[in-house]
């Protein structure tokens, strides 16, 4: 019987619950790797909340999950650390203690999942022994963090974000110098990381949910678009602010609604109350299928931040046509983009939406084509093949 590869997977925020892109990506990769039945994975990290870790992680074959209590905000103390704020907060004493014990064992691979998981890097390097180190990148942090910081109008917020962005860049560089292998989500990110490593693998997201059965959009379907996301991070809120300001006037003029599903702070909701009923916030939900059924398309209009947008998979596998900005669709191919309704900026996107929202035949043709293309590239089987090349 073939001996299982021993992998210690260090994840600052455990991928549970599945309400954010980083959780969805990590959970998909872990599922595909676990289902090879060739790896024994020990997953260690902090819980995102006081809730227990979900069965989608605990029930994976050959995987043990060791969870630490959620990280608590440390206020301004992180400013005095060379670590970015997330990495400082997530490197809790409880997590550090667990790692010190685990690192005394033999491991074939040590995985640092996301730059925010790299706070314990000195301890990892001190005790790594012959283990290889794999950095699982979710974004090219050194490239996107400065861009996000510069988008803020408030001078103090912009200064703090720029400081944190520089810390992220330096910390990411430290991880890249230590890593034997780097995985990233898109070819665009791969081009960035090849400037630091000669062993970079592209591992696109692996869809974790259930695929929708065939559906048909009809003229009776509400003239509504769906925007799914997690908007708790200030950068995500800034993105949403730019989207609402840029798109809602045009949607309102053309009688088109936008449903936003995901956690949005109340003060943000109140600020855009004047767009009701053309803008509705529905908060976090366990099942997006009712909102999918009540929409003619999914929206991908992100202006800030690079990387693959995980909501693209939700839309495609739920058989929703996609309306979006071309620059926001990093990680998708030209063939996949040909099955979407795309624009170069928000003003043009509003026109694209207005022109196509009632083109029922084109909507159905695109959602069918995109489902087939994504099923071939983002399913568990494809992900397993890629991960074998990295770990097994």
Residue 170 contacts residue 218 (beta carbons within 8 Å): no
Give me the pLDDT at residue 268, please: 85
Q: State the Rg of the chain over Cα.
A: 21
Residue 349 contacts residue 251 (beta carbons within 8 Å): no
Give me the pLDDT at residue 59, please: 95
Q: Is 37 left (phi over 0), alpha (psi -120 to 50) or beta?
A: left
Q: Encode the chain (392 residues) as per-residue pLDDT tens digits.
A: 678 999 999 999 999 998 888 999 999 999 999 999 999 999 999 999 888 999 999 999 999 999 999 987 766 788 889 999 999 999 999 999 999 999 999 999 999 999 999 999 999 999 999 999 999 999 999 998 988 888 887 888 889 989 999 999 999 999 999 999 999 998 889 999 999 999 999 999 998 778 889 999 999 999 999 999 888 777 788 888 988 999 999 999 999 999 999 888 898 888 888 899 999 999 888 888 899 999 999 999 988 766 678 889 999 999 999 999 998 888 899 999 999 999 999 999 999 999 999 999 999 999 999 999 999 899 888 899 999 999 98
The terminus-to-terminus CA distance of the chain in angstroms comes to 15
Q: Name the residue among 139, 221, 147, 153 with its Cα closest to residue 188.
A: 139
| Whole-number Å distance between alpha carbons of 290 and 84 | 39
Tokens of 96: 């550090």
| Whole-number Å distance between alpha carbons of 143 and 199 | 19
Give me the pLDDT at residue 305, please: 67
Tokens of 150: 């510069």
Q: Which residues pair with 25 in a beta bridge?
A: none
pTM of the model: 0.82
Q: Name the residue among 14, 25, 15 with its Cα closest to residue 90.
A: 14
| Whole-number Å distance between alpha carbons of 250 and 237 | 21
Give me the pLDDT at residue 75, please: 66
- Judging by DSSP bridges, how do beta strands 39-46 and 63-68 pair with one another? parallel
Give me the pLDDT at residue 131, please: 96
Q: Name the residue among 385, 296, 370 with its Cα closest to residue 338.
A: 370
On the question of a cis peptide bond just before residue 277, with omega within 30 degrees of 0, the verdict is: yes
Could you identify the residue written with the tokens 């990387």? Answer: 307
CB atoms within 10 A of CB 157: 13
């Amino acid at each position: 019987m073939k001996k299982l590869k021993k992998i210690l997977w260090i994840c600052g925020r455990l991928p549970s619950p599945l309400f954010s892109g980083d959780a969805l990506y990590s959970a998909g990769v872990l599922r595909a790797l676990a289902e090879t039945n060739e790896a024994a994975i020990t997953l260690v990290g902090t819980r995102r909340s006081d809730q227990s870790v979900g069965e989608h992680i605990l029930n994976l074959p050959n995987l043990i999950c060791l969870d630490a209590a959620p990280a608590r905000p440390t206020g301004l103390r992180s400013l005095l650390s060379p670590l970015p704020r997330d990495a400082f907060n997530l490197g809790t004493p409880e997590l550090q203690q667990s790692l010190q014990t685990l690192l005394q064992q033999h491991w074939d691979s040590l995985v640092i999942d996301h730059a925010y998981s790299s706070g314990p890097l000195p301890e990892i390097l001190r005790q790594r022994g012959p283990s290889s180190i794999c950095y699982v990148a979710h974004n090219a942090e050194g490239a996107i963090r400065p861009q996000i910081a510069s988008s803020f109008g408030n001078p103090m917020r912009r200064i703090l974000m720029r400081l944190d962005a520089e810390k992220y860049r330096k910390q990411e560089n430290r991880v890249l110098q230590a890593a034997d292998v780097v995985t990233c989500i898109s070819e665009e990110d791969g081009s960035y990381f090849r400037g630091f490593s000669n062993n970079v693998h592209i591992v696109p997201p692996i869809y974790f949910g259930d695929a929708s059965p065939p559906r048909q959009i009809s003229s009776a379907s509400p003239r509504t678009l769906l925007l799914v996301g997690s908007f708790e991070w200030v950068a995500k809120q800034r993105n949403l602010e730019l989207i609402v300001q840029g798109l809602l006037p045009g949607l309102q003029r053309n009688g088109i609604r936008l449903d936003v599903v995901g956690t949005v702070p109340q003060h943000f909701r109140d600020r855009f109350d004047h767009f009701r009923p053309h803008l509705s916030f529905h908060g976090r939900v366990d099942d997006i299928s009712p909102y999918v059924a009540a929409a003619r398309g999914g929206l991908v209009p992100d202006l800030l931040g690079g990387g693959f947008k995980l909501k693209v998979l939700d839309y495609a596998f739920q058989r929703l046509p996609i309306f979006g900005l071309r620059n926001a669709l990093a990680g998708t191919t030209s063939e996949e983009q040909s099955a979407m309704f795309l624009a170069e900026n928000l003003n043009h996107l509003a026109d694209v939406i207005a022109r196509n929202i009632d083109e029922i035949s084109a909507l159905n043709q695109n959602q069918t084509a995109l489902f087939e293309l994504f099923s071939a590239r983002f399913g568990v089987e494809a992900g397993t093949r890629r991960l074998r090349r990295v770990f097994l």
